[in-house]
Amino acid sequence: MNADQLWDTTMDPKQGFWAGNDRRCQTADELFNSLMGDDVEPRKIFIDENAKFVVNLDV
């Protein structure tokens, strides 16, 4: 793909995947920080609330 095509389809913030997705980016950032951040408590809460949805767990 040429650079100008890439800009028109993907890289241009006004046209690409992230255009208008500020809330989705914020939600993803909050989830990432909850799961990977230094504070353990949000991670424990997430696991407690979502453990019931796990299927095919292989430990």
Residues of the domain holding 26: 15-51
Q: Would you say residue 3 lies in a domain? A: no
38, amino acid identity: D
Residue 56 lies in a domain: no
CA angle 18, 38, 46 (to 5 degrees): 70
pLDDT score of 11 more than 70: yes
| 9, part of any domain | no
Residues 18-55 pLDDT 10s: 666 777 778 889 999 999 999 999 999 999 999 999 99
Output the pLDDT for position 20. 64
Domain membership of residue 31 (yes or no) is: yes
Dist CA 43 CA 41 (whole Å): 5
Q: Within its chain, how far is the Cα of 16 from the centroid?
A: 16
What is the number of alpha carbons within 13 Å of residue 55 lying toward its C-beta?
A: 1
- What's the number of domains the chain is made of? 1
Comparison of pLDDT for 45 and 13, the residue scoring more: 45
